[in-house]
Structure 1
Amino acid sequence: MRYGRTLATAGCGLLVATAALSGCGLKSGSPLVDDVVPGSIGQGLPLKGASLIVTSKNFSEQIILGSMIGLAFKAAGAEVLDRTNIQGSIGAREAIKSGEADAMYEYTGTAWITYLGHDKPITDPLAQWRAVRDEDVKNGVTWLPASSLDNTYTLAINQANNAKYHLKTLSDVAALSNSDPSAVTVCVENEFASRDDGLLGMEKAYGMHIPASNIQKMDAGIVYTQVAKGTCLLGEAFTTDGRIKAMDLDTMTDNKHFFPNYNAAPELNSKAFHKYPAIAGLLDPISKRLTTQIAQQLNALVDVDGQDPHDVAKDWMIQEGFIKKG
């Protein structure tokens, strides 16, 4: 849920900033009890004696990524408190800033626009990450290198419909909307439909002409099923969503780079990182391995197959050789 990720109430952020541990979903957490030991990371137990807190927002991908951090810390010898699954973006963010939590995966576009207040995204993913890293240091936040996992917006179409229209890019959608406006029906969540950084801005940037009567607003989760059934030709989607592959949907390339890059990168409380700089050596190899396609696969195990996100993270970490069972 993009807006669940990037927009949260200011009141919730203030509650966390004043160290309240309730009301925003920030809980006392539970100790990570997994019996894991170093694999390719954590050799020599560089975090032995450390007590660290991991957090995440409250959707599948975030819980998976937060669990990966916790498991890496645990294998490296740390005692880990699990505070993943925090409601909204602001709660988890403020926990990192205040030191209520030490580490999480965050998205570069979310930080640049929502937290740091910029209107225009930076097209180059590396330049976007560098700009976030350099500006956020003043907030007591350290960013480690980003993954290529990019959970940004796209439009999805089922393969039966795309066999007819052969759409590959958002420019292709714009061309169809101008040549045959009645053919382009779009399912979107309510907020995305009305925002300048959502459907309205995308239409303007690409010169799309979609009749208002052809735009159907609904809950985000329903969009995928409606596109799969063909109720809508196109639907708002997120590039790492596991339902894209599970439902055999095609997605459009944002060839004009209208939407921000939402690359996942470790976001750390700077005091914690300065105390335990070995964290970088633990998380960098994980970030290098994470891709949009891997995220789709892992998210599908949770959102389609019903597996537990922590178990999905642990199985992947072991499969990749980062950690081993104790």
Structure 2
Amino acid sequence: MRMKKVFATAGMVTLSFGLAACGGSDNAASATGGALDGAEIVVGSKDFDEQLVLGNITKLALENAGAEVDDQINLGGTDAARAALTSGDIDTYWEYNGTAWISFFGETEAIPDRIEQYEAVRDRDLEENQLVWMQPAEFNNTYALAFPTAAAEELGNPTKLSDLAGLVADDPDAATVCVENEFSTRDDGLPGLEEAYGIAFPDGNVTVLDTALVYTAAAAQDPCNFGEVFTSDGRVASLDLTVLEDDKGFFPLYNPSPVFREEVYEQYGDQLDEIFDPISAALTQEEMTMLNERVSVDLEQPADVAEDWLTEQGLL
């Protein structure tokens, strides 16, 4: 049975993570053209820039191998993408292991070792939902709170999330935060962060905005001094935001993997490994941040960015 290969190769994930840190272009080999001739695969993604890039990388890589792809990229938030996968409306999208562990499985304690975190999610989702988590990318797109570097003195020179408790107590009017909708309700978002750090932002100090607006609102300190950010987002550097250290290790690791329905992986697993393992190995923190910046800051189209990157890496 095909799934034996998943567990056999899982023990090699330590090596895979190590290769990823070295960059993928020297070790990667493009899938042989025609490897997926006759395959019909439905590709989805969530609705933010990084996911749009990853979705287009998936689409182009599968088409390059001969598959016929039904493009369902940009489905919406996490719940929409996950529901589409578990119902069979799509066959694959990239998901983050921390999201699965906390949000899907309802666990409250993150696993600090990225390999153990991946393996725990991989094994559980296969057993419970017949979903196959392929080799994870090395980059970690975890949550963080950030503020304009120029406003450090004004805000009491915070360096870590624990410092926010003092700011709430000493200067509550300055303890304003902008977040996107998912973060405002998720267990691994604002409610969990407040509980873990003993912080209670005053009523009216939390503003929910579209993801893209959170960055610019925080940078302008209007209407908030702090913003929820993703650590692999290129706007953190371009807007000169300082990320607060998660000194209590609240946020789990968010290494993403292509996740396929078991039915699809059983049929095409060898070919999918050949296609996606080199892609995951090449997606380092530096590479993903650069790709995100091209979309979020330079306003390039995700499909163009994905095609350029795959070509540069020798994967297309």
TM-score range for the pair, normalised by the shorter chain length: 0.7 to 0.9
What RMSD in Å do the two structures reach over aligned CA positions?
2.7
- Secondary structure of 2:103's partner? helix
Deviation at 1:265, TM superposition (A): 0.6
The one-letter code of the counterpart of 1:131 is: A
> Which residue does the alignment assign to 1:76?
65
Residue 182 (structure 1) shift: 5.6
Alignment partner for residue 296 of structure 1, among 270, 289, 293? 289
The SS at the match of 2:146 is strand
Match of 2:17 in 1: none
Aligned match of 1:121? 110
Amino acid at match of 1:169: K
Could you tell me how far apart the structure 2 residues matched to 1:83 and 1:190 are?
22
Aligned length: 284
What letter corresponds to residue 147 of structure 1 in structure 2? A
Choose from 150, 157, 177 the match for 1:160: 150
2:43 pairs, out of 54, 57, 71, with 54
Query: CA separation of 1:216/1:86 partners in 2, compared to 1, >3 Å: closer, same or farther?
Result: closer
Change (3 A) 1:179 1:294: farther
Q: Are 2:100 and 1:111 equivalent residues in the alignment?
A: yes
Q: Which fold has the larger relative contact order, with Cα–Cα distance below 8 Å and residues 6 or more apart in sequence?
A: 2
Per-residue deviation, 1:129 = 1.3
Residue in structure 2 matching 1:186, options 158, 173, 177: 177
Cα distance between partner residues in 1 of 2:82 and 2:198: 36
Counterpart code for 1:289: A
Letter in 2 for 1:162: A
Give CA-to-partner distance per residue, 1:9-53, whole Å, 9 cap, x none: xxxxxxxxxxxxxxxxxxxxxxxxxxxxxx831136432332322
Q: 2:197 pairs with 202, 206, 212, which one?
A: 206
Measure, in 1, the Cα distance between the counterparts of 2:173 and 2:78: 37
Match of 1:101 in 2: 90
**Correspondence for 2:279:** 286
State the shift of 1:160 in Å: 0.7
Q: Find the residue that maps to 2:162 and give its secondary structure.
A: helix
* Change over 3 Å in CA distance of 1:286–1:196 after alignment to 2: closer
Distance 1:167 1:286, change over 3 A: farther
CA 1:309/1:274 → structure 2, altered by over 3 Å: closer, same or farther?
same
Identity %: 42
Cα distance in 1 for residues equivalent to 2:187 and 2:260 = 31
**Paired residue for 1:320?**
313
Instruction: Tell me the CA shift for residue 316 of structure 1.
Output: 1.1
Q: What residue identity is the alignment partner of 1:141?
A: L
| Separation in structure 1 between the aligned mates of residue 70 and residue 151 of structure 2, nearest angstrom | 47
Offset from partner CA, 1:89-146 (integer Å, 9 cap, x none): 3343243334433222111122223333334332322222111111111312111121
**3-state DSSP class of the match of 2:73?**
strand
The answer to whether the 8 Å contact 2:103/2:186 transfers is: no
State yes or no: 1:258 paired with 2:237.
no
CA gap 1:294/1:174 in 2 versus in 1, 3 angstroms:
farther
1:154-200 Cα shifts (integer Å, max 9, x gaps): 11111212366543322344455566656543333466456654334
Using the alignment, how far apart are the partners of 1:211 and 1:54 within structure 2? 42
Larger mean CA deviation between 148-157 and 187-196 belongs to 187-196
- Paired residue for 2:219, among 217, 223, 228? 228
What's the counterpart of residue 272 of structure 1?
264
What corresponds to 1:6 in structure 2? Answer: none
The code of the aligned residue for 1:242 comes to G
Q: 1:245 touches 1:296 (CA, 8 Å); kept in 2?
A: no
User: Would the alpha carbon gap of residues 271 and 304 (structure 1) be closer, same or farther in structure 2, given more than 3 Å must change?
Assistant: same
**Counterparts of 1:127-166 in structure 2 under 5 Å?**
127-138=116-127, 139-162=129-152, 165-166=156-157
Question: Quick one: structure 1 residues 244 and 44, their matched pair in 2 at CA, closer, same or farther if it must change by over 3 Å?
Answer: same
Query: 1-side partners of 2:39 and 2:182: how far apart?
Result: 42
Taking structure 2 as the reference length, the TM-score comes to 0.78
Contact (CA 8 Å) 1:169, 1:254: kept in 2 or not? yes
Q: Which position in structure 1 is the counterpart of 2:209? A: 219
- Structure 1 residue corresponding to 2:160, chosen from 140, 156, 169: 169
- Which region of structure 1 is more displaced relative to structure 2, 310-319 or 68-77? 68-77
Q: Compared with structure 1, are the counterparts of its residues 245 and 115 closer, same or farther at alpha carbon in structure 2 (3 Å cutoff)?
A: same
In the other structure, the counterpart of 2:22 is none
Determine the structure 2 residue equivalent to 1:29: none
